[in-house]
């Protein structure tokens, strides 16, 4: 339950609500980035950054090399798939098909 998955921030979807799109293994998902906002308050500074994503919230910045290594091992171990599947499932719930 407390696990998460590293993902890369690819765009800012709503700077006021601190929402951004992240991508992991080809799956995109909107997440909240309030917890990792730069001191400047400029969400654009997060573009390209990697973060640990937990239940739709970016909780901690990770350096790119570390993030990729972690993701690689999570995928090898089959742990990443469950998290990515949960992201997809969440989307299905919104569409009423859960």
Partner 1 sequence: MKYADEFRDPEAVNTVLSEIERIIDEIGATADQPIHIMEICGGHTHAIFRYGLDKLTPEGLEFIHGPGCPVCVLPMARVDECVELAERPEVIFTTFGDAVRVPGTKKSLLQAKADGADIRIVYSPLDALELARQNPDREVVFFALGFETTTPSTALCVQQAAQEKISNFSLFCNHITVPPPIKVLLDDPYMKLDGFVGPGHVSMVIGLEPYEFIARDYNKPIIVAGFEPVDLLQSVMMVLEQIKSGQAKVENQYARIVPDQGNPVSIAACEDVYERRESFEWRGLGEIDESGLKIREKYASFDAERKFGIGYGQASRVVEEPEGCRCGDVMTGRIKPIQCEQFGKGCTPERPLGALMVSSEGACAAYYQYGGVRPDLEPAV
By CB under 8 A, tell whether 12 contacts partner 1: no
Q: What pairs with residue 28 in β-bridges?
A: 23
- Nearest distance from residue 3's CB to partner 1, in Å? 5
- Nearest distance from residue 75's CB to partner 1, in Å? 12
By CB under 8 A, tell whether 41 contacts partner 1: no
Handedness of CA 49, 21, 84, 90 (dihedral sign): positive
By CB under 8 A, tell whether 40 contacts partner 1: no
By CB under 8 A, tell whether 27 contacts partner 1: no
Tell which positions 45-84 bind partner 1, by CB under 8 A. 52, 54-57, 59-60, 62-63, 66, 69-70, 73, 76-77
Contact present, 57 and 87 (Cβ < 8 Å) = no
d(CA 97, CA 69): 34
């Amino acid at each position: 339950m407390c696990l998460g998955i590293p993902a890369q921030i690819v765009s800012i979807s709503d700077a006021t609500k601190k929402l951004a799109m992240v991508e992991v293994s080809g799956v995109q998902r909107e997440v909240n980035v309030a917890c990792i906002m730069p001191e400047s308050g400029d969400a654009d500074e997060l573009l390209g950054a990697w973060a640990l994503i937990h239940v739709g919230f970016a909780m901690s910045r990770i350096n790119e090399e570390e993030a990729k290594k972690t993701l690689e091992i999570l995928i090898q171990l089959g742990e990443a798939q469950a998290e990515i599947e949960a992201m997809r499932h969440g989307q299905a719930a919104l569409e009423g098909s859960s």
